[in-house]
Amino acid sequence: MLEIVQQKAIYGPPDLIVEVISPGDRPSDVLALETDYRAIGVPEIVFVDQRKQAVRILRREPEDYADEVLTAGAFALHSLGGIRLQLEWLFTEPRPDERATADGLVAETARTTHG
């Protein structure tokens, strides 16, 4: 990823884009963003829709993008080494404790990496 960062500009798409959809966003606004991100070849695009309590994940594949919509459970961010996030962390009030969540992610990563 760092190879795209040059002295005067960034050349190439980021590995991951996360868009939080605002209540005022029109579907055409979201579609325009998606079209732009696909056009530049972003490998992993995540749309978080608080109102619908859903996460839409688009992943670039050889022919097109795979499209997945989740309303429960967990999802992995491939661009971040497969780190798994629970949807309830995004949509439940009050939000989970940041430190406890980070510790849990580190522990889960250690378990999946080492055994």
- pTM for the full predicted model: 0.81
Distance CA 22, CA 24 (A): 5
Q: What is the pLDDT of residue 74?
A: 93
Task: Please report the pLDDT score of residue 66 as a whole number.
Answer: 96
pLDDT value of residue 43: 96
Domain chopping of the chain, boundaries: 2-114
Q: Among candidates 58, 46, 60, which has minimal Cα distance to 90?
A: 46
Class of CATH domain 2-114: alpha beta
| Res. 2 pLDDT band, cuts 50 70 90 | low
| Residue 38: pLDDT over 80 | yes
Higher-pLDDT residue of 52, 3: 52
Give percent above pLDDT 90 in the chain.
57
Q: For 57-113, what is each residue's pLDDT tens digit?
A: 999 999 999 999 999 999 999 998 898 998 988 888 887 788 877 887 777 777 766
31 pLDDT more than 80: yes
